[in-house]
Structure formats: C-alpha cells, structure tokens
Amino acid sequence: MFERLGNRLGLNAIPQIFVTAAAIAIVFVAFAIPFHEPFAYAFGLVGSFTFQYFGWFYVASVSGLLIFLIWIAFSKYGGIRLGADEETPQYSTETWFAMLFAAGIGTILMFWGVAEPLSHFANPPMAGIEPQTVDAAKHAMNVALYHFGLHTWTIFTLPALAIAYFSYRKNLPMRISSVFYPVLGDRIFGPIGWTIDIIALLGTLFGVAVSVGLGTLQLNSGLNVVFGVPIGVMSQIVIVAVITIIATVSVALGLDRGIKRLSEINIVLALIVMLFVWLAGPTLFITSGIVQNFGNYMQNLPWMAFWTEAYQGTSWQQSWTVFYWAWTISWAPYVGIFIARISRGRTIRQFVLGALLAPMAFTLVWFSVFGLAAIDQELNQGIDLVTQVENNVAIALFDFLATFPLPTLMSGISLIVIVVFLTTSADSAALVVDQLSRNDIQPSLVRQRIFWTFLLGAIAGTLMLGGGLDALQNVITTLGFPFCVLLVFMAYSLRRSLHQDLTERLEQAQRSGPQ
C-alpha cells in the first residue's frame, strides 16, 4: 500500500516514513486549528505530567551523556576519523563553526540573551538568594550558562557523532535508525527502524516549529518597537508565512548556495550587535565578568548538572531546565544530521571538543555581554528592565537596545539577524527531514524539501494559534521525551560499535604483523 502511494505521489523517499509522518503532522494541523483550545488543554495535561514525573530523567540523562562524550573524546576511540583514515574536513573550521551556530542555537541566543539573565536576577531559582542583588546576578548568569552551555551542545553532539560514525564508517543511511544497527541489525530497514525515524522526523518538525514560534514572538515585538506593527496573532501568522517563504527559496538553493552563505553573513551581523553592546555598554564590567562567569560556571556545574529541586519542593525547573532539555532534544535529530553532514573528515576527538567547546565559549561571551549589560542597568543605572521582561519576555532585547545609542539601527540589524536565524533553522530542518525520510541513494527532490518547509510553517502557525509560549512549551515537553530515551540507547549503541570496530582492527593488525 505504501509503495503504491509513494509511486503515485512521485516520491524519492521511503513511503512508510514519509507518508506516515506527513499524515500525522497534517492531521495535527487540520484538527488543531479549529480545536486549538482543547488541543492546548490536552497538551498542557500531558506536559504537566511529564514535567512532574520525568523531569529527573531529563536532568540525569543529559548530564550523563555529557560525561560520556568527554570520556569518549579522550579515550582510545578519540583518534578514529569520521570518514576514511586519510580524509580531511570538507569545510574550514571557521565555516564549520558559523554553520553550527546558525543552525544550532542562534535564534535561542537572540531570544534569551537579555531575557533569561534578567528573569533569574528578578526571581532567583535557588533558595535563600535575595532578588535583584549581586548574589542574584551571579546565580542568574550561572543558570543561563548552564542552560545554554555544555549541556545544550551535548544534546546536539551525541546524535551528530553517532550519525556521522555510522554513515561515514559503516556506510549506513544518514538516518537516526542507522545508529541502532549494533542492537537491531537489519531490522533498522523495517517497521522498528521506520518508527524510530518517524519519531525523529516529527520531533524535528515540532522542535523547529517551536523555535520559529519563539522567534516570531520576538520579531513581532521588535517590529512593534521599530515600525509600530501591532502585536497579535494575526501579525504573528503573517511573520510565520514570510519566514516560510524565505526558507523555501533558501531550501531550493541547497546547502552550499543557501544555508552556507546565509550562515556566514549572519554570524557577522550577530557579532556586530554583540560588539556594539560590549563597547557601548559597561565594557570593563563585561570584560571582567566574562572571566568570572567562566570560573563560576565551571565551579557550580557539577552540582547544577544534577540539581532536581528534590529538597525544595518547588516547580521552577519544570518551566526552565526541563523545558530547555526537551526542546533541545526535539532538535537533536535535525541538528545531529545537519552537523554530521558538515563534519566529515574530522576525528572523534576533534569533533567532540570542537562541537562542545567552541559553541560553549561563544555562548559564555554572548550571555555575559548581554546579560551583564542588562543587569548593570538594573544594579547601577536605575533602569527598570525587569518589569518589562516580566510583562513580555519577547520584547526584552529591544527594550534593552532602546537604552543604547543608535537604538533604531541596532534594533533593525537585530531583526535581520533573527529573520536569517529563523530562515536557516527552517531550511536546514527541511533538508534534514527530507534526509530522514529517504535512503541516501535516492536523490533529494526540491519539491519534497519545499513540502516539508511549508508543513513546518503550518505547524508553527498552528502552535501560535494554540496559546503562544505556553502551548509551545507543553507540546515540546511531551514530544521530546521519547527521543530523550532514544538518546540514552544511542550512546550505548555507539559505544558498542566503537569497541567492536577497534577490536577487529587490532586483531587484523596482529594477523598482518610479523609472523
């Protein structure tokens, strides 16, 4: 049945994966639009249940996987190359990092760079810390860096490493199911493997849709500040439609002509905004704070990595840490495959250290610049940004920039950066979703990538209709949990295959040695 339908549709894809995932997503959109309130309520119930009973699993899993990656980078497996033994990287380190950043968390940094530190500064999650004090400022930066530092990139790096290894060393399709070949064998080419890829595909669609939704909220607020565009659902739907159209053009151009060039341009624009804030703001305070924030982050990371509020009996972590991990995990298939595609030729050690440390360093600087400049305004300049953030978190960046020279110009550049980040996220996701739905020997069709781009935009628009930020959080927490479980098994499968591979190579070397 699936094969006949795939032939009729002219698909270059595995019909069981493509048709099933597309049907589920289309049904969600079709029913969620007229019944968005019941859908939001239902996902709210499931999301609350997941938060309450499995939040600890998210925290323990992500921290455990970080330890696993550090171990594997410095183990005997670290010298294995993701490709042929003599292969060199396809992209330069600079281009590689720009593509990592743009397709990874560029949108997230723009949204939360000011908002998160100020939120924790006003409402410290740790017991016994007085709000809006120096201690609150230190802890606010610690929490922000915890959320967007090594842990976030652990969630991206593990599937990327596993996918690259099994694709480039084992010649398996570049799909999530291939990672489980040591456990499932040829069953990855049947219903079990298809189910894994469908979960990954849907997680990607909804995870990136959440990012598009958050970016849309911020764009709407920025356009209101700069151009007076009204804030509301209709404006947000129009923004989603425009982003979808731009992403469609980019995805039709492909990886090198579209995403690569957009990524390189946008990283320059983002750096311009950051350097402007650094130099126009309290430069010495920011520079000193970067150094101290790094020390505080490394000092507090061990206990923060396993903190679950067990003794406090509070629910702060449900709305922040668990949501972030679930959201990032839903991105893991997409970012994992994307990073794998641009990382051929690097050794495991180079790959892991580069994918963990370089983004973490940039995140440290980014949050220190924006977070410390915003906190300085609260502590030392008497500017009340906290109230504005509490009223509308999406407008934080633009209210912050309004206190600097050239506010319209810098807000305009920031709007461009957000648009491009959203575009590169959407078009990269469409490329990856198309990859998840087909075999490597099947050429990618532009019309299939365009279909996934439009479907992603439709999901984002539907989530906006369903209640904005709260709906985004509940949906993603629910959908992220199955893939969190898969990540744990992914680490086991990778370790098992690496051990078997290295053992076989040592035995072969012994047999071919001197007799």
Is the pLDDT reported for residue 318 higher than 60? Answer: yes
Is 207 in contact with 215 (CB distance < 8 Å)? no
Helix H, strand E, coil C: the string for 179-191 is: HHHHHHHHHHHCH
Cα torsion angle, 180, 186, 189, 191, sign? negative
Q: Does 449 score more than 70 pLDDT?
A: yes
Query: In the chain, what percentage of residues exceed pLDDT 90?
Result: 39
State residue 511's pLDDT score.
73
Does residue 5 carry a pLDDT above 60?
A: no
Supply the DSSP symbol for 259.
I
Is pTM beyond 0.85 here?
A: yes
15: confidence class by pLDDT, cuts 50, 70, 90: confident
pLDDT at 430: 83
Report whether pLDDT(82) > 80.
yes
Tell me the C-alpha distance between 40 and 44, whole Å: 6
pLDDT band (50, 70, 90) for residue 232? confident
Residue 470 confidence (pLDDT) above 70:
no
Is 42's pLDDT higher than 70?
yes
Better pLDDT: 98 or 357: 357
Q: What was the pLDDT predicted at 28?
A: 83
Q: What was the pLDDT predicted at 373?
A: 96
Average pLDDT over residues 427-436: 82
pLDDT of 199-216, one tens digit each?
A: 888 888 888 887 788 788
pLDDT reported for residue 469: 56
Please give the full DSSP string across 290-355, using - where no structure is assigned: HHHHHHHHHHHHHHHTT---TTT---HHHHTHHHHHHHHHHHHHHHHHHHHHT-TT-BHHHHHHHH
Residue-wise pLDDT for 19-28, tens only, equals 899 999 998 8
Q: How confident is the model at residue 78 (pLDDT cuts 50, 70, 90)?
A: very high
For residue 108, the model assigns a pLDDT of: 76
Phi, psi torsion values for 135, nearest 5 degrees: -60, -40
Return the pLDDT at 442.
67
CB-based contacts of 341, cutoff 8 Å, min separation 6: 174, 255, 435
The count of other CB atoms within 10 Å of the CB of residue 24 is 13
Examine the pLDDT at 257 and tell me if it is beyond 80.
Answer: no
Span 136-155, average pLDDT: 94
Say whether 487 sits in a helix, a strand or coil: helix
CATH architecture of 2-496: Up-down Bundle (1.20)
Whether residue 9 is predicted with pLDDT greater than 70 in this model: the reply is no
Mean pLDDT, the chain, rounded, equals 85
